[in-house]
Amino acid sequence: MRPLLGVIGALAVLGVFSSVVRTLVMPRPSSSGFTRVVLATLFVPFQLLADRCSSVERKDKVLAPVAPLSLLVTLVLWLLSFLVGYALLEAAVSDLGVKAALDEAGSSLFTLGFASSNRSALTAVDFCAAATGPIVIALQIGYLPALYSAYAAREAEVTLLQSRSGSPPWGPEILARYSQAELLDSLDQLFSNWERWAAQVNESHTTYPVLIQFRSARATRNWMVSLLSVLDAAALSLAFNPSRRPQTPARMALRAGYVCLRDLADVRGIPYSADPMPDDPLDLDYGSFLEGVERMRQQGFPMERTPEQAWPHFRGWRVNYENLAYRLAYDIDAVPAAWSGSRRTPSVILRPTTPKDRQPAAR
């Protein structure tokens, strides 16, 4: 039995080391089944409780702790797995019983030093265990600033969008408010900012997938819904005003946005069509499209094409990102905003409030 215990212990230690390295050290997308299972398992009871909440605010409060809590639970389970693995190795190279092996492994792993042996085989395992505990804890501590820095960078642009589109954001509302404030020339800057934002989120959220589950500070704000609204604004701008120049920022924002969504889908194992056809079906219907167009028209957004002419062009852009955006918004139970798909439970679609543009009186 001792060789078998040694093999099982070595596999346990090496497997957990692999999970730690993939999660905390490798600066590239690298899937760790251990952390995925921890997050998914922890998510279930919170989601079941959130499904019983009647308001968006209560649901958000229930789901907000899941991702941060998963970091703590993952660390604890890593250490416990190391404890078991090293205890099995201790038992394999000595005549220690289960309790004595756990005592010796725990004493070394957590650097307590209350149980030790002068046998060379045990001492070697003790040294490895003693190095493992501080290294894993230090890596986790160093991991948190990088994680929260990426989160803060993501949320800064999401918060800025609130003044441009209201909360929750909506693609037609962005164009309507820019037109209302006579800032249409600044749309290119918005699209350029979100092109860079999409690239940064792509890099950070594929490297640290737990960020996908981190929620915004307000229940009516959400990074996925914000990205979808900007992509819709870019698609609407291109569909209605083909002669407007330059068109590059809107096109590049769309490209960066759906590339980001596809890379996130790859990390989460979500299937998608890599080359959708412009006439593939959409969940967004023409009637909902007209509601958005009417909001834009009310604020004087210029339109070279009629809605009937613009619809095929708009759907040709939206087919690239709609399914993935809807699936991710469903998975993270994002705020039920307009044009963002269905949710786990029936929800009232929230729309941004219409602002009154009050300007100082002329003197």
Q: How many domains does the chain have?
A: 2
Q: Is 310 exposed, middle or buried (0-12, 13-18, 19+ CB in 10 A)?
A: buried
Are 126 and 258 part of one and the same domain?
no
Are 55 and 188 part of one and the same domain?
no
Q: Among 126, 141, 156, which residue terminates a domain? A: 141
Q: Among 141, 156, 181, which residue terminates a domain? A: 141
Res 116: pLDDT: 58
Are 226 and 307 part of one and the same domain?
yes
Considering the chain, what is the average pLDDT of its residues? Answer: 88
Q: How far is CA 168 from CA 196, 258, 262, in A?
A: 21, 20, 23
Are 81 and 197 part of one and the same domain?
no
Are 133 and 172 part of one and the same domain?
no
Are 188 and 311 part of one and the same domain?
yes
Tell whether 337 is covered by a domain.
no
Are 110 and 209 part of one and the same domain?
no
CA dihedral 241, 247, 253, 257 (to 10 degrees): 60
Q: Is 69 helix (H, G, I), strand (E, B) or coil?
A: helix
Tell whether 350 is covered by a domain.
no
Tell whether 153 is covered by a domain.
no
Are 135 and 173 part of one and the same domain?
no
Are 136 and 175 part of one and the same domain?
no
Tell whether 289 is covered by a domain.
yes
Are 195 and 319 part of one and the same domain?
yes
Which residues touch 259 (CB under 8 Å, ≥6 apart)?
198, 202
Res 189: pLDDT: 94
Are 109 and 177 part of one and the same domain?
no
Are 125 and 193 part of one and the same domain?
no
Res 172: pLDDT: 96
Nearest Cα neighbor of 325 from 251, 230, 237 is: 230
pTM beyond 0.75: the answer is yes
Mean pLDDT by 10 residues, the chain (363 residues): 84 90 80 84 92 90 92 91 89 80 82 61 79 87 89 94 89 94 91 96 93 92 96 96 86 96 93 90 95 94 95 95 96 94 88 61 48
Tell whether 362 is covered by a domain.
no
Tell whether 147 is covered by a domain.
no
Tell whether 151 is covered by a domain.
no
Tell whether 159 is covered by a domain.
no
The structure tokens listed for 214 are 């981190």
Q: How far is CA 31 from CA 28, 138, 207, in A?
A: 10, 21, 9
Res 337: pLDDT: 94
Range of the domain at 308: 166-331
Name the helix (H) or strand (E) containing 105: helix 98-109
